[in-house]
Amino acid sequence: MSGLRRGSVCLGLCLVAALTANAQTDAPSRRSGYHDMGKPLQAMQDDDMANPGMLWVGEGANLWNQRFAAADKSCADCHGAVQSMSGVAARYPAFTAGSDQPVTLEQRINLCRTQNQRADRLADGSRELMALTAVVAHQSRNQPIAPPDDPRLRPFIAAGEALYRLRQGQLNLSCAQCHDDNAGRKLAGVTIPQAHPTGYPIYRLEWQSLGSLKRRLRNCLVGMRAEPYAPDAPEYVQLELFLMDRARGLKLETPGVRP
């Protein structure tokens, strides 16, 4: 009996020690979720003919050249070939002219839609917005994530980190407890990735569609039985800023494939 007691106390203390040790060693080997997938899914992502996300990239390339009635301007009329977007996705979210908040790549594209093309704002997660985001981000494939060294971003990154470490929901879990402390272990048979936003927008088999990082974060919040943030909430941008900063140097894969 007393042996069992002591066991339980040690279990508690040892776990605390392990968690603190984890917090101190600064993520020894960072790896994209790509490496946590089976070979068949990796092969699907690697082969442009098999990667379903390339359909959206193709659609995005068409939209890039499409003119809109009001301004009669296509993205290409102002920006030239879509290849001019090389490196852009690697440094978003960022501050942009006319906004006092950092914006995501999707939000930046929508600013061009409404202000420069004088077209309607594309709905969150809509096929057109995903396609345009995919073709723009695809131009940075294989480039290292490189958040801008902009001091104005620091409070937003810090806010994102606080959210990442907050225990929330009915299950009382934080993002960090899964993605830092237990990455590589199995949650109901699924390997927990380190949560680096390397592939977005991703084609997720479970969605049978291309989707944004925001959508992926909502999935995790629902899994924790936490209230998802409102669709336009700044929390998603803060989390994205923190995750991009944390993934600095890892290569973009857009369009990523994930289970």
Partner 1 sequence: MGNAVHAEDGLRPYRIVGDAIPAPLTGEAGDPERGRAIVANRRVGMCLRCHSGPFPQERFQGTLAPPLTGAGSRWTEKQLRLRIVDAAQLNRDTIMPPYYRTDGLERVAKGFAGKPILSAEQIEDVVAFLATLKDQ
* Residue 259 site contact among ligand HEC, partner 1, none (CB < 5 to 8 Å, cut-off depends on kind): ligand HEC
Neighbours of 137 (CB within 10 A): 26
Please state, in angstroms and rounded to a whole number, the distance separating the CA atoms of residues 177 and 237: 21
**Residue 102 binds: one of ligand HEC, partner 1, none (C-beta under 5 to 8 A by kind):** none
Q: Residue 115 has what DSSP assignment?
A: I
CB 105, min distance to ligand HEC, A:
6
Told to check if 234 binds partner 1 by CB under 8 A, we report no
Please list every residue from 167 through 186 that binds partner 1, using CB under 8 A: 167-173, 177-178, 181-182, 185-186
**Binding footprint of ligand HEC on the chain (CB under 6 A):** 11, 15, 33, 73, 75, 77-79, 85, 88, 96-97, 108-109, 112-113, 116-117, 132, 136, 164, 173, 175, 178-179, 187, 190, 192-193, 195, 197, 199, 202, 216-217, 220-221, 223-224, 239, 258-259
Instruction: Please give the biggest Cα pair distance in the chain.
Output: 80
Q: Which residues of 35-46 are buried (b: 16+ CB within 10 A; e: fewer)?
A: ebbeeebeebbe
**What is the rounded CA–CA span in Å between residue 71 and residue 56?**
25
* Options 78, 175, 178, 220, the catalytic residue: 220
75 catalytic? Reply is no
Residue 127: both structure tokens together: 């096929």
d(CA 46, CA 253): 9
Tokens 């004088």: give the residue.
118
Q: Which is nearer to ligand HEC, 31 or 55 (CB)?
A: 31
Q: Which residues bind partner 1 (CB under 8 A)?
A: 4-5, 7-9, 11-12, 15-16, 19, 166-173, 177-178, 181-182, 185-190, 221-222, 225-228
